[in-house]
Amino acid sequence: MDSNETSRREFLRAGAAAAAAASVAPAVAMGADQPAKPKGLPVRKLGRTGVDVTILNQGSAFSIGARHLNIMHEEGVRYIDTADCYKGGRAERACGEWLNQSGHRKEYFLVTKDHPQTPDEWVTMLDRRLENAQQDYVDLYFLHGMGDAGFGRFPMPASQLWPKQKAWAKAAERIKKSGKAKFVGLSTHCNPITARTQLLNNAVKGGWVDAIMVAVTPTLLREDAKFNKAIDACAKADIGLISMKESRGGLAGIEKIFPEFKARGLSPVTAVLTAMWTDERFATICSHMDNIEKLKENATAARNFKPMTATELTAVHQMMDGHAKGFCIGCDGSCRRAAGTETAFSDIARYLCYCEENGDREGARQLFAALPPAARDWSKADLRAASEACCSKLDFESILARAAEQLA
């Protein structure tokens, strides 16, 4: 190539750049709002999917809107989690509309969920999810809330076997071959913890589950060896792991236990998130960031993440042991047995947190109403005995009194 041709090409490139600059100059001069440059977040591979996902993802079980999603994008989150039941499907629709209108669909890992009772129903429900979200496909499609009595959909213990049954494996294959969902899996926060552990182990045995979103805390991993071993088995099987419900509500006092966290800019909640990110078996955390303050705080913690030391992890455990009194995600059924009842203590406490902390009274009341009658009847229960037996030492007298007022 001669020097004249090189000079000509450089001139053309310079001219094109100048034209592009001129085209945006009036908007700048007029003071038009310019989109903020997105802030990058760390990413990890989501197991066998091979997809890099941001270590923080946006839960949408609230009245999520375009302004929140715009700021989420600016903060660098590139993973949206939604479901059929979030605000009666309105959250799923809002997320899909934003992805379409913003033009960002290809940048995002989009997850949705539903509550089928049969493998065929799971396949057909996906069309409803896509229609509601106005999408041609989702990246990940879950069986949602497996084992949770509040949804009243999954027969337990029979559904604990689903992850290793051939009929569900064939349904998963049909879904992925259709191109309507790239990957499939399940979400679970069921109690007793033995049921959740069995679901994880059965997912490993079945071989078709690409990813699992599971309720977990650093303390649960420390205290329950069988559950921790099941998490390890999933990681070794290359099942992508997503954590949720890391903080049980009512977190406080971290500055007294470990004042260095404040210097690092960590709040009680983001200290727990950082502890979970330190466990590299988990690719990402699904966080209920229902306001801009939470979103920015959590995104900042994700951007600044560095693994915790053993001393720092111990401080997080101490905080959660002493101050996390919202609900218990590691219930082993001791509370029920001690109280001589079938009351779903842990589920009711969790629904109360949805109401009081998340502001979702409508959803919490629906979940409470869906519990079997015996599970929401504590009239003859020994509540003090239940509290003494609870691994989180929840104050059931206070919790159930508030539940009667706000959920019943």
Gap between the Cα atoms of 317 and 402, Å rounded: 27
Structure tokens at 308: 């915790």
In a shared domain, residues 356 and 283:
no
Task: Name which residue leads in pLDDT, 325 or 152.
Answer: 325
Q: Is residue 372 part of a domain?
A: yes
pLDDT in tens, 91-103: 999 999 999 999 9
* Residue after which a domain boundary falls, among 286, 321, 356: 321
In a shared domain, residues 130 and 273:
yes
pLDDT in tens, 104-132: 999 999 999 999 999 999 999 999 999 99
Query: Does 22 score more than 70 pLDDT?
Result: no
Q: Is residue 282 part of a domain?
A: yes
Domain that holds residue 194: 43-321
Gap between the Cα atoms of 362 and 351, Å rounded: 10
In a shared domain, residues 340 and 311:
no
CB 223 within 8 A of CB 213: no
In a shared domain, residues 300 and 344:
no
pLDDT in tens, 282-309: 999 999 999 999 999 999 999 999 999 9
Q: Is residue 327 part of a domain?
A: no
Reduced DSSP (H G I as helix, E B as strand, rest coil) percent helix, strand, coil of the chain, to 5: 55, 10, 35
pLDDT in tens, 345-357: 888 888 887 787 7
Gap between the Cα atoms of 381 and 335, Å rounded: 10
Q: Is residue 272 part of a domain?
A: yes
Length of the chain: 408
In a shared domain, residues 170 and 304:
yes
In a shared domain, residues 288 and 379:
no
Token pair 């509500």 is at which residue?
249
Q: Is residue 5 part of a domain?
A: no
pLDDT in tens, 24-58: 333 333 333 444 555 799 999 999 999 999 999 99
pLDDT in tens, 61-88: 999 999 999 999 999 999 999 999 999 9
Q: Is residue 12 part of a domain?
A: no
CB atoms within 10 A of CB 9: 11
Using alpha carbons only, give the angle 46, 48, 53 rounded to the nearest 5 degrees.
20
Task: Name which residue leads in pLDDT, 81 or 149.
Answer: 81
DSSP per position, 42-90: -EEE-GGG--EEESEEEE--S---HHHHHHHHHHT--EEE--TTGGGGH
If one counts the domains in the chain, the total is 2
**pLDDT for 163:** 95
pLDDT in tens, 312-357: 999 888 888 765 566 677 777 889 889 899 998 888 888 887 787 7
Q: Is residue 317 part of a domain?
A: yes
Structure tokens at 300: 């900042």
* Residue after which a domain boundary falls, among 299, 321, 343: 321
Q: Lowest mean pLDDT: which of 203-212, 241-250, 283-292?
A: 241-250
In a shared domain, residues 232 and 286:
yes
In a shared domain, residues 48 and 163:
yes
In a shared domain, residues 224 and 372:
no
In a shared domain, residues 252 and 315:
yes
250 φψ region: left (φ > 0), alpha (ψ -120 to 50), beta (else)? left
In a shared domain, residues 129 and 217:
yes
CATH number at residue 212: 3.20.20.100
Q: Reduced to 3 states, what is the DSSP secondary structure of residue 112?
A: strand
Query: Does 19 score more than 70 pLDDT?
Result: no
Q: Is residue 265 part of a domain?
A: yes
**pLDDT for 323:** 57
In a shared domain, residues 292 and 346:
no
Using alpha carbons only, give the angle 212, 97, 52 rounded to the nearest 5 degrees.
35
* Residue after which a domain boundary falls, among 293, 321, 349: 321
